[in-house]
Structure 1
Amino acid sequence: MPRFREEALAKNMELVERVRQLAAAKGCTPGQLALAWVLARGGDVVPIPGTKKVDRLEENLAAVGVKLSEDDVRALEAAVPEGAVAGGLAGAPRRVAAAALAAVVAFRRDLTFSEVSGSLGDLGTFLPLLVGLVKNNGLSLSTTLIFSGMYNVITGFAFGVPMPVQPMKTIAAVALSQAPLTIPQIMAAGIFVSACVMAMGALRAFWLASRLIPMPVIRGMQLGLGLELARKGWQQAWFADGKAAPARQWWGPEGLFLALCALAFILLTVYPREVCCRGGDEQAAPQLLPQQAARCGGTTGNGAGAAEEAAPGSGPADGAEAGKEPAATADDGASNGASSASGGSDGGVRRPLLRLKHSLERLGSRAEAGLTGEEKPDGGGATAGGGGGGCGAAAARHGVRLPAALVLVVLGMILTLAYYPEVVSALSFGPSSIVALVPSAEDWCIGLLRAGLPQLALTSFNSVISVTQLARELFPEKRTSPDGVAFSVGAMNLVGCWFGAMPCCHGAGGLAAQARFGARSGAAPIFLGLIKLALGLLFGSSLFALLRRFPAPLLGAMLVYAGIELAACARRQRGERGVAVLLLTATVTLAMSNVAVGVAAGLIAAYLLLAWDSLVQLAAPCCRRAFAACRRRRGAHGAGASSPAAQPPALPANAA
C-alpha cells in the first residue's frame, strides 16, 4: 500500500475508498485485496498488524486465493495519487510526539502507591554505597543523582518493567576498601566494564551464554547472591558499624528496636496471607491438614471432623494414621476418668496438661497451614508444600496491601529531621557543577586491574543474564532480552562515567526487591528517576548532609528482604540433579565470595553430568551386546556339554 503523506491525505482517502469498492466487487476484505495486490506485483507477502490473532491470520492466508487480473491491478495503480509512494512516512515528528504522549499517559495510568513503594525497595543497596563513595572517595552526589535519575527514566520507558539502577557493587567495595580508589580510577573501571558488556551484547554473546548456562546454575547464583545480600542487610541492621560487633544500642534512630520493628513491619505487610479459590470464591488458606487435625482431636481448621474432611480417595494407610491419635486421646481420657474416679491426685493435673498439649498442637498446625498457604480442591485443608512462588509471585497475584517501602522511607525522613534538625540548614538550592573527567594511563591500569576485571564477571552474570531471566519469570508478557540489557548497561556508563557519575548497572536483587515491594511496570523506575532528578537539580551535593543521617537500620531491614526475595527464586527448581547443582553453585558463590567461581563450579557439575549421561548412553548398547554374546557363549557351552556326542565312550563290560 502507498505511504500516506500529510499533503496527499485527501487523495489517499480516495484510494482507500477505491480499494474498498474493488474488494466488495471481488468478494474479499480490503486487507485480502491489499495482500493479493502485493502478490500479483511479484512482491513478498509479509505479516501485517493483527496477525497474532487467529481470525486475522486466517483472513490473511485466504488472500492467496484472491486472483487479480491485469485490469484489476491497473485499476488499483490508477487510483494511487501521484507522489504518494515517494518520500518517507508522513509526520515523523508528529508520530514521535504521539509516542511520547502515549508513554506519559501510560505512566500516569500505572503510577499507584504500590508502584511508588516498589520504586523505593532497592534503596537499601543504593543509599549506603552512594553515601560511602561520597564521604570517603569524594564522589559528586549531584552528578550521580542527575545521571542515575536519567538512567531510571530511560530504562523505565524502554523495558516497561521495574528494571533497577544499582551501583556496581564490586567497584564500590574495592573503592571503599583500606586502599581506596580515586574518582578517575573508579570511572575508568566503570567505563571498561561497560565497554566490554556492550561489545559482548553487540556480538550476541549474552544471548548464547543464556542458552549455554542451565537454569539451575542461574538460580544457584541467585540463591548465593540473595543470601549474601540478606547477610549484609542483617549486619547493617544489627551492628553499629554495619559489619561486625559491637551491636547497636537499643533506642534512637540508629537503635536495634527500630531495626526489629522494621523487619517485623516488612514481614507482615509485603507477605500477604495466601488465598485460594474453591467454587469461584476466594477463601483464607490457613486450614489444618487432615493428619494435623487428627493429631488435634479430629477437627480441622474450619470445624469439620477429620473423617468428614478426609479426601475421597485416601488409602487405608491414611485412615489408620488418622485413627491412631484419636484412639490414644480416648485412652488418655479414659485413664483420666479412671484416675479421677479412683480419687487419684494426678487426674486433675494430667487433664490441663493434655489440654495444653492439644492446644499447642493446634497452634503449630495452624502455623504450618498458614505458611503452606494452599487448600485442596475438595476442601480438605491445606496441602503442604503449596503456596505461591517466590520472587514476588504472591505480591504479583494479590497486590501489596500497604506500601511498606514508602512508609519506611517517610519514617526515616521524619526521624532524621527530628533527631538532626541541623541538616535543614545545610541544604542549599541549585545543582552542583558537572565537570568532565579524563582518567590518566595510571588510572586506567589501576582501575582495570583492581576493580574492572572483578566487576566484569558480576555484571555479566547478575546484571545481564540473571536479571533477564528473572524479568521473564516475573513479567512474561514483557520482552526483555540479554542483549538489550547489555546495551543499557553499556550506554549508561559510557556517558555518565566521563562526568563523574557513579558506575551503575542493573541487578536481579533490585528487580526482586522492587517487585516484592509493589512495582509492576516501568512507572516505578520512572518515578524514582524523576525524584532523583528533582533532588539533584534542586539541592545538588548539599543533600549529602541529609542522606548520611538517614537511619541505617531501616535500610538494613529493606536489604534483608531484598536478599530473601532474590534467594526465593531458587524454590522454582525441580529435580534432584537440578537442586544439587543449584545448591553447589550457591555454596561455592557464598564460600568464595565470587560469582564467577560459583558459576564455573555449577557449569562444570552440569556438563559433567551431561557427559556422564552421554557416556552411559553410548556404552549401554555395547554392554548389552557384550552381555548377550556372553550369554550365548555360556548357553552354547552348556548345550555342548550335555549332548551325546560330547559324552566320553562307554567302557566294555568285561574291561578290567
Structure 2
Amino acid sequence: MPLPFSFPNHTPRALRTIRSRPLSEISGALGDLGTFLPLLTALTINSSISLPATLIFSGLYNILTGLYFGLPLPVQPMKAIAAVAIAKHFSPGQIGAAGIFVGAVILLFSVTGLLSWFARVIPTPVVKGIQVGAGLSLIMSAGGTLRSALGWTSPSWADNNVWVIAAVVGLSLSAIYPRIPYGLMVFILGIFFSFTLLATSKHNLPSFGLWHPSISIPTGADWRTGILDAGLGQIPLTTLNSIVAVVYLASDLLPEVSTPSTKAIGLSVAGMNLVGCWFGAMPVCHGSGGLAAQFRFGARSGASIIILGAFKMAVGLFFGNTLVGLLGRFPKSLLGVMVIAAGLELAGVGESLNTERAWDLQGRLTGGLEEEGSGTVLTEEKRKQRWTVMLVTVGMLVAFKNDGVGFLAGMACHWTYMIPGFVERVREKYEEGRIRLPVGRVGRGRGTSA
C-alpha cells in the first residue's frame, strides 16, 4: 500500500491527462485485465478467495497507487501463488498465508535494504524459471479441466468444445493484433452467457447487496502449505519483477514523472498483502508486465487506474456477494482458454533468457553484469548453463507443483555451475601466496628429549 506520509501531489497532472486524452486513459486502465480477470474468476470459482474483498481491496490499492505514485502501476495477482492455488485448489487460509508471508518478507527486505542484495544474488534463469513454471502450471490445470468437463455439446449450448475452438481462434488473432483487448472481450462474452444461463434457469441474478467483511485466519497447516508450496517461490518473482524491474521500466516509459524508489514500491507491495489477505483478498503486487501492458493501451498517468479502482470498489461494495453465483455459471470453455492465455503470457518470458535485453536488465538491477559472465556477450557455454538452470527450475516446479521446490532446485543447479570458478579462484589465490595451508607444529612442546 502506498506510503501515507510525504504524499506527493500528482493530481494536477492526472487531471490534465484525463481531460486531454480520456479514451486513452480508460483504454490503458483495461490493459492488464487480461491477466487479472481469468485468475480472479478461477480463484473465485475454486472458493480460494473472497470476490468482494478482492474487488474492494484491489480497487482501493489502485486508487492509492495512482494518487501516490502518479503512474499507471498495475495491481495484479501474484501469479506464482495464483498458479499453485488454482492447480491445488487452495483454501482461503492457504492462499492468505502465502500472501501474508510474502508481504512480511518484502517488508523486511524494504526496511533493511536487502532488496538490492536479493536482486544481486538471485540469478535471472531462476526467476524466469519460476515464471515459466507458473505459466505451464496454469496451462496444465486449465487443460485438465477442459478435457474432463466438456463435450462437443455438453454441458450446455454456452459451454462446450465448440466455444473452446472459437476462443482459441480469437486468442491466435490477438497475437497478430496485440492491441485487441482479448481477455476483456472474452470475459464480457462469458458474463453475458452466465446472465443468460441464470435467467433461463430461474436462479437469482446479481442484485444490490452491501459487502459484509469477514476475517480469515490461517491455521498452522495453512501456513505450512501456503509458505512452502507457493510463498517461497513467489518471493524472487515479486522482488525482481514487481519491485526492482518496475522501477526501471517506469523511468524508461515515463521519464517526465518522478520515479519511485524500490523501497517505496516494496512497502506498497508489503502493505497491500499484510492488510487485504486477512479479509480473503487475492495476493497482489505491482508488475512490470502489467505496467507495460497498460502503457501500450494508452495509460500515461495515475488517472487511468484511479478510474479502474473506483469501478472495482463500487462493484465489490454494492454487488460483490451476489456476483459469486454469476461467476459460478461462467462457461468453463471460455474460462479455461482465458487461463491458458494468461499462462502462455507468463511462460513466454523464458524466450528472452539469453537475449541482450534480459542481460542488460540484470546488469541494471544489480549495478553490473552477473558474476558468471564477462563483457556484454554471453558465450555458448554460458547460454547452455543459463538454459539448464531455467529448465531445472521449471521441471521441478511443475513435477512437484511447488514453487519452493523449483526455486531451491534452480539455485542448487546455479551454485553447482559456480563450483569450478570458485575452485579456480582459490587456486589462483593460493599460488599468489594470499592463502596459506595450515601447517602442524613440529618439534614444539614437551616429550621430544631422548
Q: TM-score, normalised by structure 1?
A: 0.50
Matched residue, 2:264: 484
Question: 1-side partners of 2:112 and 2:133: how far apart?
Answer: 33
Could you tell me how far 1:109 is from its partner in structure 2? Answer: 5.1
CA offset digits 1:3-28 (Å, max 9, x no partner): xxxxxxxxxxxxxxxxxxxxxxxxxx
What amino acid maps onto 2:111 in structure 1? A
Match of 1:100 among 11, 17, 20: 11
With over 3 angstroms needed to count, the CA separation of the structure-2 counterparts of 1:548 and 1:108, relative to structure 1, is farther
Match of 2:327 among 547, 559, 562: 547
**What corresponds to 1:409 in structure 2?**
187
Where relative contact order (Cα < 8 A, 6+ residues apart) is larger, the structure is 2
Name the residue aligned to 1:575.
378
Question: 2:214 is matched with which residue: 413, 435, 438?
Answer: 435
In the TM superposition, what are the counterparts of 1:33-432 in structure 2 within 5 Å?
A: 99-106=10-17, 112=24, 114-123=27-36, 125-134=38-47, 139-159=49-69, 160-167=71-78, 169-170=80-81, 173=84, 177=88, 181=91, 183-184=92-93, 186-213=95-122, 217-226=123-132, 228-230=134-136, 232-233=138-139, 236=142, 238-239=143-144, 241-242=145-146, 249=152, 252-255=158-161, 256-270=164-178, 400=179, 402-421=180-199, 425-432=204-211
Task: Tell me the equivalent position of 2:365.
Answer: none
Q: 1:566 to 1:125 in 2, by over 3 A?
A: farther
Conserved? CA contact 1:118–1:516, under 8 Å: yes
Q: Check the 8 A contact 1:201/1:483 in 2, yes or no.
A: yes
- The reply on whether 1:451 has 2:226 as its aligned counterpart is yes
Question: Aligned equivalents of 1:454 and 1:515: distance in 2?
Answer: 33
Give the Cα separation in 2 of the matches to 1:602 and 1:108: 53
Equivalent pair of 1:220/1:584 in contact (CA under 8 Å): no
Q: Choose the corresponding residue for 2:312, options 532, 535, 553.
A: 532
| Farther-moved stretch of structure 1 (100-109 vs 115-124) | 100-109
CA distance 1:565–1:171, shift in 2 (3 Å): closer
1:155 maps to a residue whose letter is T
Q: What residue ranges of structure 1 are gaps of 5+ in the alignment?
A: 1-94, 271-399, 623-656
Q: Tell me what 1:502 maps to.
A: 282
**CA distance in 1 between partners of 2:41 and 2:93 (Å):** 21
Q: Name the amino acid aligned to 1:601.
A: A
Q: Tell me the matched-pair count.
A: 383
User: Counterparts of 2:175 and 2:431 in 1: how far apart (Å)?
Assistant: 53
AA aligned to 1:410 is: I
The C-alpha deviation readout for 1:574-594, integer Å capped at 9, x for no partner, is 513542343122112111113
2: CA distance, partners of 1:404 / 1:558: 9
Give the structure 2 partner of residue 339 of structure 1.
none
- The one-letter amino acid paired with 1:582 is R
1:8 equivalent in structure 2: none
1:566 and 2:349 are equivalent in the alignment: yes
2:396·2:409 contact (CA, 8 Å) conserved in 1?
Answer: yes
> 1 CA distance for matches of 2:140 and 2:82?
22
CA RMSD, 1 decimal? 3.8
| AA matched with 1:559 | A
Counterpart in the other structure of 1:328: none
In the TM superposition, residue 549 of structure 1 has moved relative to its aligned partner by 3.0
Percent identity over the alignment is 25
- Where structure 2 has 5 or more consecutive residues not aligned to the other structure, the ranges are 1-5, 360-376, 398-402, 434-450
How far 1:543 moved relative to its partner? 0.9
Q: Which has the larger radius of gyration?
A: 1
Q: How does 1:576-591 map to 2 (within 5 A)?
A: 576=379, 577-591=381-395
Distance verdict in 2 for CA 1:227–1:172, change over 3 Å: closer
In the aligned structure 1, how far is the partner of 2:310 from the partner of 2:101? 28
* 1:185-205 alpha-carbon deviations (Å, 9 max, x no partner): 654553343223212221111
Aligned-residue offset at 1:605: 4.5
Q: 1:515 to 1:219 in 2, by over 3 A?
A: farther
Q: Which amino acid aligns with 1:225?
A: Q
TM-score, normalized by length of structure 2? 0.70
Separation of aligned partners in 1, 2:140 and 2:270: 32
Deviation, 1:473, is 5.7
- In structure 1, the residue matched to 2:372 is none
Report the alpha carbon displacement of residue 620 of structure 1 after superposing the two structures with TM. 8.4
How far apart in 2 are the matches of 1:98 and 1:436?
34
Distance in 2 separating the partners of 1:248 and 1:230: 24
Map Cα deviations across residues 87-139 of structure 1 (whole Å, 9 max, x no partner): xxxxxxxx9796434444445556516414413121355324431343xx5x4
